[in-house]
Amino acid sequence: MAAFVQTPDIIRLVCHIDENLPPMYTDEVRFKQVLYNLLYNAFQYTEQGEIAVCVEVQGEMLEIQVRDTGIGISERDLEGIFTAFYRVAPKEHQRGLGLGLSIVKNIVEALNGKIDVSSQLGVGTTFTFTMPIAIDAQLQVAAANLSVVDHVEVLKLSLPIEHLVNGKTVLIVDDDHVNIKVLVDVLIQEGYSIIAVDNGLDAMDYLKTMKVDLLLVDLMMDGMSGYDLCSNVREHYDMLELPIIILTAVVKHSDLVLSLQIGANDYLQKPINMDELFIRIRSHLAVRQSSVEAIEDELNFLSTQVTPHFVYHTLNTIIDQTREALYCLSTYFRAKLNVHYRHTSVSLEEELELVQAYLYIEKMHFGERLSIKYDIDETIDLRIPALTIQPLVENAIFHGISKKQEGGTIELSVQRDGGFVRIKIQDDGVGISEADQQRLVNQ
């Protein structure tokens, strides 16, 4: 509660609590929910003056009062103040009374207490509720079971809840139906589409079929915990695609750090300050929207660069290269598969055409890893045995270039040398061992 009580200087918070009060027989978590909501409403409607919390014994009950010097409530509004989702017409800067007051009434009555309200316009408002005093037998039971009333069914909602409008969609996942009811009510007021479930499996099912903009996830749930749900969601959505805000009563720093490490964008500690919740939701949705717009702008920019002219020429280039590759492949196969070709002589020009066809195919395979240099005297008119040069070039690539990670260069030179023609195939590959050289020569 200390985190909540950050009062401005013009509002004084006063506590009238006897140190010798007997213990209550209640659920500590539910009691804090009641007190928090009443204090929250008091601060919402008190611009200056005093807010007082008073506790005294009344028979077998403790009577707790939350009294403020705020704007007060009219008699007409007092009649419906505990009706589900009732709102007093607020001033512009106020969010309205009735925030969780129907839930507060349900909780108090489930804990065997009663709640009432009195108010006078312009003077202030007093909420009074009672809690049973613990007798000896109850204290003994409580000592053995730290939360005797933990299983009191304060509110049972019919889930899932779907309230779909044109606003951003928030998926609430919490196994506490009271928390769900409060969150659903206030977020509907803010104009959001709401989906609410009480377990992680149902949440994952909704994510498969519905467009969700943000998740509110309770950390400690039965079955699939908030940790597990967050981890599962991050397997399909990154932090910009689907923000997750963890809601937790845990105060251990290590647990909060873990929730962020597994993919939560943010966390809020219970009891939740609604104004802070709204700010966090708006902030994360704004970041998400900015990310979406940035991606769309980039795609729009790229689409303007892809002109029909560019696409046409690209397709033509692919077709031309495919045609050239097929021509080279047919040239290579004709030479390799023709038995009679092997035992004939061919012109130097025909042999070099086969070599170039073979190198074109290998270039498509190796890409930038293969460089080819030609130094050919085109005036040479010579007939040579078929498949004289191509196998040597193929050998240079297989034994030299292909075994070198960064690839290399093949140089083919055909030049006159006196009364002879010198044909030279050179590569800068890994080289051939002496034993392999001898074996190749003897083949």
Q: Rounded CA gap, 441 and 434, in Å?
A: 11
pLDDT tens per residue across span 386-425: 888 888 888 888 888 888 888 899 999 999 988 888 999 9
- pLDDT level of residue 307 (50, 70, 90 thresholds): low
Residue among 319, 399, 393, 335 at smallest CA distance from 363: 393
- Report residue 432 CA to chain centroid gap: 55
**Domain end marker among 154, 181, 203:** 154
- Residues 318, 434, single domain; the answer is yes
Q: Rounded CA gap, 200 and 101, in Å?
A: 28
- Residues 195, 99, single domain; the answer is no
pLDDT tens per residue across span 54-79: 999 998 899 999 999 999 888 888 88
- Residues 125, 16, single domain; the answer is yes
**Mean pLDDT computed over 323-336:** 76
Sign of CA dihedral 350, 355, 356, 358: positive
- pLDDT level of residue 128 (50, 70, 90 thresholds): very high
- Residues 192, 290, single domain; the answer is yes
- pLDDT level of residue 312 (50, 70, 90 thresholds): low
Q: Is 326 helix (H, G, I), strand (E, B) or coil?
A: helix
- Look up residue 443 and give its amino acid: Q
Q: Is there a contact between 36 and 273 (Cβ–Cβ < 8 Å)?
A: no
- Residues 148, 2, single domain; the answer is yes
Q: Is there a contact between 7 and 46 (Cβ–Cβ < 8 Å)?
A: no
- Residues 361, 401, single domain; the answer is yes
The answer for residues whose C-beta is within 8 angstroms of residue 270's C-beta and 6 or more apart is 179, 247, 248, 249
- pLDDT level of residue 29 (50, 70, 90 thresholds): confident
- Residues 203, 175, single domain; the answer is yes
Task: Specify whether the backbone of 283 is left (phi greater than 0), alpha (psi in -120 to 50) or beta.
Answer: alpha
CATH number, domain with residue 270: 3.40.50.2300
**Mean pLDDT computed over 297-309:** 69
CATH number, domain with residue 15: 3.30.565.10
- pLDDT level of residue 152 (50, 70, 90 thresholds): very low
Q: Rounded CA gap, 213 and 166, in Å?
A: 12
- Residues 389, 428, single domain; the answer is yes
pLDDT tens per residue across span 79-123: 878 875 555 554 444 444 334 677 788 888 888 899 999 999 989
- Residues 176, 282, single domain; the answer is yes
**Mean pLDDT computed over 241-254:** 83
- Residues 228, 342, single domain; the answer is no
Alpha helical stretches, state H, 306-347? 308-337, 339-342
Residue 338, number of CB atoms within 10 A of its CB? 12
Domain span holding position 326: 309-442
pLDDT computed for residue 135 by the predictor: 75
pLDDT tens per residue across span 190-231: 999 999 999 999 999 999 999 999 999 998 888 888 889 999
- Residues 237, 338, single domain; the answer is no
pLDDT computed for residue 388 by the predictor: 84
Q: How many domains does the chain have?
A: 3
Q: Is 61 helix (H, G, I), strand (E, B) or coil?
A: strand
Residue among 229, 23, 288, 1 at smallest CA distance from 142: 23
**Domain end marker among 279, 305, 331:** 305
- Look up residue 413 and give its amino acid: S
- Residues 93, 162, single domain; the answer is no
**Domain end marker among 128, 154, 180:** 154
Q: Across all residues in the chain, what is the average pLDDT?
A: 81
Q: Is 396 helix (H, G, I), strand (E, B) or coil?
A: helix
pTM given for the model: 0.48
